[in-house]
Structure formats: structure tokens, C-alpha cells
A and B are shown apart, each in its own frame.
Chain A
């Protein structure tokens, strides 16, 4: 049997940091309304879904709509290359909805969107997300009146 060693987060980052990144011809930069007037949503790549929704299959490039009034979020992320205990202990480690609710109560942000979006972050081919489900998710968020999106990676 091969000799085992304790892994470190830095080792895994080193393994993955050189993965080819998409090359965007332009930067989609826009200026939002003042944060205190903005509707804020979260888009996460943590493969979150509600229990009754379809889990993320391997190579699943779709998205799931998450109801912000609920707290029953399950991760379907199957990659072994992330720590899951942080999310298990506190969902806000990945999906900081409680924190956004607090910011809305303080008037720091205008309001928290009623619904949010999750994709699967462990992808081998990003073309379907770039060309299809990514723009579709963005269009859906705009139709919900979202002004600002916080992207949280897993």
C-alpha cells in the first residue's frame, strides 16, 4: 500500500489553481443602485438544493432555485476536494443567508431576494454553463428584480 500523508488545503489548491479559465472578451461591469436600496441574491456553486429537488448528478450543468424563506439546504457536491464540515456546522459558511437577513434588518442592504440559485462547482466542461444555464440563471434573477449577486464558490 502506498505511504499515506496528511493532506493540506494548500496542496489541493496547488493541484487545481492551474486549471484553464474561460477567456472573456469583455468584462460585464455594471454599476448597481446604492446597496441600501438594492435587492441582493446569492449564487453559489455548492450544489445546494432542497430535499425534494433533484440532486446534482455528475456533469449536471443546470441550476436549482433556492427558497430564501427556508433553511433546509442540502449539498449534492460530490468532489472530495473541499471541506464539508464547515457547511455542515453552519450553512452561512457557504450560503450566508442569515447574514444577509441581518444586513437587511440594519438597512445596510435594501432587501434580500426571495430566491437564490445554486450550480454544481465541480465541472469538467464549462461550455454548457457559459452558453446556456449561466445566462438563463442570470436572466431569471434579473426578472426577480435582483440588483446585486454575491457569488460564493465551492
Chain B
């Protein structure tokens, strides 16, 4: 099968993830969408690896998975902490960075 289809699927998944990050307000869902974007990237990497016949892309995909796992741990931890301290679970209300 042509690599193009994989890339199209990857781009679609990425767009869905990015759209989700931009429109949703719940930190949990934003985290899920971020995962979606990362895995869209993974898909593209694996597809390229397959088309060029080398393993580099697959190794990168493994590294990205590790990073994603770390990020989820931190992100979920933050969300749990926010929940415990009764911080509203709405990214629009967390505006401490406003200048």
C-alpha cells in the first residue's frame, strides 16, 4: 500500500487532536487530544520507516511513546492535584500567567 494513505490518516488524526486541544476546555480531554497528536506523529514515523526500509523511524516512535507516557504521568498528576485543591477543571479559568 502506498505510504500516502498512512500520511493522510496521520494528518487527519493530528488535525483532530489539534482541534480538540483548541476547542475543549477540560484539561483531561486536552490531555487525550495531545496523546492523539503524538500518536499521529508516531504513525507518520512508522510509515516512513516502512517506506524507506530502515528502523530509525520505529526507534523514534518508541522514544515518543516513552515521552508521551511521562507527559501523561505529569499531566494526570497535575489534574489530580488541581481536583484535590478544588481548582476549577477549566483551562480558561486558570489564568495565572496573564500579564
User: Do A and B share a complex?
Assistant: no
